[in-house]
Homo-oligomer: A and B are copies of this chain.
Amino acid sequence: MNAHEGLSHKKMSLVNPDLSKERSSVSFPIEEFTYFIFGGPEETKKKRWLISLVDVNKEPVFANKDIYFISRDKYYVRTLEKMKKLIQVKKQYNIDGDDWIFLLLSTGEPMHPILHDVLFIPTLEGQMSREQSEKWLPLAKDYAIFGCYAQTELGHGSNVRRLETIATYIHETDEFDIHSPTLTSTKWWPGGLARTSTHAAVLARLIIDGKDYGVHSFVVQLRGENHKPLPGIDIGDIGPKFGFNNVDNGFLRFTHVRIPRDQMCMKFSKVSRDGKYSTSSNAKVVYGTLVIGRIYMIERASFSLAKALCIAIRYSLVRKQGNDTNDNPNETMVLDYQFLQYRLFNGLSIVYTFIFVGKWMRDLYDVNEKKIREGDVNIMADIHSISSGLKALCTDLTMGVLNDIILACGGHGYSRFSGIPSILDNYAQNPIVEGDNTILHLQTGRYLIKVFENAKNGRPTPSTLSYLKGYSRILSERSRAITWEELTDPNEQIKALTHYHTRLLAKLISNLEETSKTHLQGYEGAKSDYMIDIINVSKAYCYTIIITSANEGLESIKSTYSNIYPILRVLINLFFSNFIIKYSGEFLLDNYFNSNQIKIFEFGIKNCLERIRPDAIGLVDAWEFSDNMLNSALGRYDGNVYEALYNWAKLEPLNLAQERGEYVGYNEVLKDIYDREYLKGINKSKL
């Protein structure tokens, strides 16, 4: 029994007949796809069970239907009610780790515990001494306290070095004095800070006897009895945002707040009773939290996109428009239009390519964690660089497709009831948080410059990039593929991308070397004249990783998932071909591909669309999103979109007011305008 059958679609007979027909003609067993998405039959069983725990039919608290109507304060309280229930369930069944995250995601709404569990607890775990952990972790894991991660300040985002909040050691009382010396040092943005959190992990500059030891972490209690903010703590909500409005992003300003010395996190750096500072600097501290956050976003991109595509594809199989004539009044199902397939199937190709990338990235991370435990930090910098660039590219591509999907749904896409605006505006923070995408690409690009310089000069390179040593051979290669099959052969795909990013990198280095000869600030200064190029190098490299990991990942599951292998092959070929066409100039510039090969790609894309069309419904149904999770009138499993739109509109509070005989706006204003006598008066008098 899958989630659809079990949860929200008991009256299967009422499903829109076009949708039923589509479902019956999918070329693969949909359940096999579900196994692929969820990670095998056992994992699928577990995930279905997790989904059942937030089933709105059993637990009405998880209902999302009214969230489009309610005010921010009610929306916040509704979220807390869900959170309370989730914490109960978590404790009851001992749910943890990825399962816990999956459970939170399955509510369909942003959930506060994610911030506590993914940012606050790992900070305690990673940066506190053993004694400190033993005191604080049980409280945090039990939700007896709830924490946020207070890094960003009003005037400082990405540049952590310049945070202004200070923690001054007070010898007399053995305390730190936490203080916000300027307006711009006000902590700003931390999720859960404004009203939910009792405590915060505060990043502040450590000052001892007037000396600045740089940024360290401190645990500060924010609220006391009855949740009242403690003295010296100016705390509040930063106001409404583009999305994420059920989460209380907050501000926090300290006026000389004292905390005991042992609330500085002292795993690596310590301050003793007599104010002596000692440190055993360990790069891994920073590395770990940053990288796992980004990997999480790489893995999750396909999830948000799949939700939006599930809505758009189901709706496009129900919606009919145009192509009618006097002789044939039947309109065409809109998914049969090539241009709509082009938009939506590009999205599908990204969703499924990303699944492989996410898995590849996580595997690499696990390998590295193991190596680090064994004392080998060889691929750490590499992983940092790859995860940065991939986070940037994956979230940017996802945002682009989400924007396309709203448009693909015509007018009704613009309604909140479509569910897509909320997916989009909640997602829109992803290119900014955990590192601004532009900054991340610059980091990755600069890393590649360094590695390439090493490769060029015979110095060691990380194993993932050792091929750069053969860069001159790579640059001289041209594609000899003639047919579509040859052009999209996995090895040819990887070769084309490798050639592309190597060429951009080599060109950049040559430009940098040339420019640095005359640039006042030398080589480093020259880089600021090539920021656009550095970003483009990072993108090209990350596309290579995506194409490589997707092709290698797919070939590795060929026998396990033989029924779905063919359509996955088409999806990855489509991703690759769309990439080639979008950047065709880059490949024609040095004749890596010639104009005939480009034409084959153009033609091949259309064949992919035709091939995907009958399977489209299977590719989105396989995710087993519940209707409550999608919270969309257009994306319902049963396809009864027009009834849903109409019935949902009836719940709009403004309409309920009208039913009570209250015509909002009329008594207040409109009757003054529509009263002709009143208007005559205006015309006569001078205002």
Which A residues fall within an 8 A CB radius of B?
68-69, 71-73, 76-77, 80-81, 83-84, 87-89, 91-92, 142-146, 152, 154-159, 161-162, 183-184, 186, 188-189, 194-196, 198, 226-229, 236-243, 248, 251, 321-322, 324, 329, 331, 337-340, 342, 399, 403, 406-407, 410-411, 413-417, 421, 424-425, 428-429, 431-433, 436-439, 442, 528-532, 535, 581, 583-590, 595, 598, 606, 642-643, 645-646, 648-655, 657-658, 661, 663-666, 668-674, 676, 679, 682-683, 686-687
Contacts and interface: CB of A to CB of B under 8 A. Distances in A.
Contact of A416 (B155, B242, B437): B242
B162 A238 contact: no
Contact of A236 (B238, B342, B411, B658): B658
A114 B81 CA distance: 42
A239 B422 CA distance: 14
Contact of A72 (B227, B329, B654): B654
A31 B276 CA distance: 61
A606 to B, nearest CB: 7
Most buried by B among A142, A437, A683: A142
Copies in the complex: 2
B646 A606 contact: no
Most buried by B among A428, A581, A646, A686: A646
8 nearest A-B residue pairs (beta carbon)? A584-B585, A585-B585, A242-B421, A80-B669, A588-B588, A338-B531, A236-B655, A227-B666
A183 B643 contact: yes
Contacts of A438: 339-340, 407
A305 B161 CA distance: 34
Contact of A239 (B68, B83, B436, B528): B68
A665 to B, nearest CB: 5
A687 B154 CA distance: 44
Contact of A339 (B157, B248, B324, B532): B532
A238 B646 CA distance: 8
A411 B157 contact: yes
B646 A186 contact: yes
A648 B239 contact: yes
Nearest to A683: B91
B595 A584 contact: no
B649 A251 contact: yes
A305 B683 CA distance: 37
Given A77-B664, A158-B321, A414 B399 contact: no
B241 A421 contact: yes
Given A239-B652, A416-B241, A425-B425, A189 B411 contact: yes
Contacts of A154: 642, 645-646
A237 B146 contact: no
A414 B429 contact: yes
A577 to B, nearest CB: 13
B338 A529 contact: yes
A205 B84 CA distance: 54
B653 A73 contact: yes
Contact of A414 (B71, B242, B653): B242
Given A76-B664, A92-B687, 19 more contacts: A88-B682, A143-B673, A144-B676, A146-B674, A157-B321, A227-B671, A236-B658, A237-B652, A239-B648, A240-B652, A242-B406, A242-B415, A251-B646, A322-B439, A339-B532, A342-B531, A414-B428, A585-B586, A585-B598
A411 to B, nearest CB: 5
A321 to B, nearest CB: 5
Nearest to A153: B642
Nearest to A70: B71
A322 to B, nearest CB: 5
Given A338-B529, A410-B436, A196 B654 contact: no
A451 to B, nearest CB: 21
